[in-house]
Structure 1
């Protein structure tokens, strides 16, 4: 009788072990790393392709393509118009990804429409980090070369009504984490200190040209660390 009981117990143990081994791996919860989606905003006379290098860098550092979005827009129009376009775009990214917030990484004039979105269109509720790279935050004397032709460029002139309103009060509103990276030999942002933002983490990256700022590897590493 005892031998029979042992045989039955052994058989049941073997069956239970086989069942456990056959359970699908999906029953074990996976905790994959995830990030806020990043929305990249280009500047004057440019398009989304200006971010190709950094998008590749972010992918190499663990971001998926479904977490990286670069918008293209009509840069000749007012930054107010672009801010509205950006607002719609960000809502579509949030809807597509299921995320509650995005990180905004912007270059040059892209800082103006993005900051208008944050200040005037409720953007602070949907943005976690804001990164300005060579942003024309307080205007540039170079804008006089094209201000007569494009509304967007005229708005970049120091003292313009657009910039006066944008920079009145709090330059870094909401609970967003702000950073501004600027070069001390940027020929497109004159004076160079115009790129700084009151209340932000302001970083002088050294002597890097305006068009190289959002392609440079050392600047990328600092931006990645700030967002991370």
Structure 2
């Protein structure tokens, strides 16, 4: 039964992801008044156009500079470290090597973000990390897809264990993990619970819908914009 659920979860996640509409992404955010910068890290089989369109555009409307790179290969078959290195290079190119940022990662993107923060020095410039439907302890559904990235997504993989050992490098960075008890892509369900994070459970019925769920979008927007000054003329 567990194996059957894992297969169904993986298939439903792939199909639903392709059906979720997206808003156009911008590889070049506009920084207004030198204020907040947010980086979005997409999940497996996705790209910068598909993840976080609603939240991204709401933040941009408030003057936040947003960057949503497309990491390749999207299925991480060469490993998540390679994607994290691309992420670092893109952030440095987009915002410079030292400017402060916050990161929002979806599913596998949350682990790629953690590798960047914990292993590539990104923690020194990060104000907050938000992970959405991220399997912090791995997921059984990755058994049914090949490649290094899928292997790294397995529970207790060397990659997962290495991230657990180095999480103290996050220092005092605020971390929030959003998860759904109905997510059939993340198995077991409590893999989204991370002791280092503030864990928030949201009753969303499908994995890819988490990035457009009102409670998730509203909460991340509120947290990121809490310290912003009003845009002149608004």
Q: Shorter-chain TM-score category?
A: 0.7 to 0.9
Partner of 2:154: 157
Partner of 2:44: 44
Distance 1:82 1:198 in 2: 25
How far is the alpha carbon of 1:35 from its aligned partner?
3.3
TM-score by length of 1: 0.77
Query: Which consecutive residues of structure 2, in runs of 5 or more, have no partner in the other structure?
Result: 1-31, 226-234
Q: Is the 8 A contact 1:131 1:178 kept in 2?
A: yes
Larger radius of gyration: 1
Match of 1:196 among 185, 193, 198: 193
Secondary structure of the structure 2 residue equivalent to 1:59: helix
Secondary structure of the structure 1 residue equivalent to 2:44: coil
Partner of 1:82: 83
Distance 1:215 1:172 in 2: 30
How far is the alpha carbon of 1:129 from its aligned partner?
0.8
Matches within 5 A, 1:1-228: 35-50=35-50, 51-60=52-61, 62-64=62-64, 67-74=65-72, 75=74, 76=76, 77-95=78-96, 100-146=99-145, 149-168=146-165, 170=167, 173-228=170-225
How far is the alpha carbon of 1:99 from its aligned partner?
7.0
How far is the alpha carbon of 1:165 from its aligned partner?
1.0
Structure possessing the higher relative contact order (Cα contacts under 8 Å, 6 or more residues apart): 2
Task: Sort the Cα spacing of 1:210 and 1:81 in 2 relative to 1 into closer, same or farther, 3 A.
Answer: same
Distance 1:40 1:101 in 2: 14
Distance 1:196 1:91 in 2: 30
Size of the aligned set, in residue pairs, is 190
Task: Sort the Cα spacing of 1:216 and 1:52 in 2 relative to 1 into closer, same or farther, 3 A.
Answer: same
TM-score by length of 2: 0.75
Q: Is the 8 A contact 2:118 2:166 kept in 1?
A: no
Query: Which consecutive residues of structure 1, in runs of 5 or more, have no partner in the other structure?
Result: 1-31
Task: Sort the Cα spacing of 1:140 and 1:172 in 2 relative to 1 into closer, same or farther, 3 A.
Answer: farther
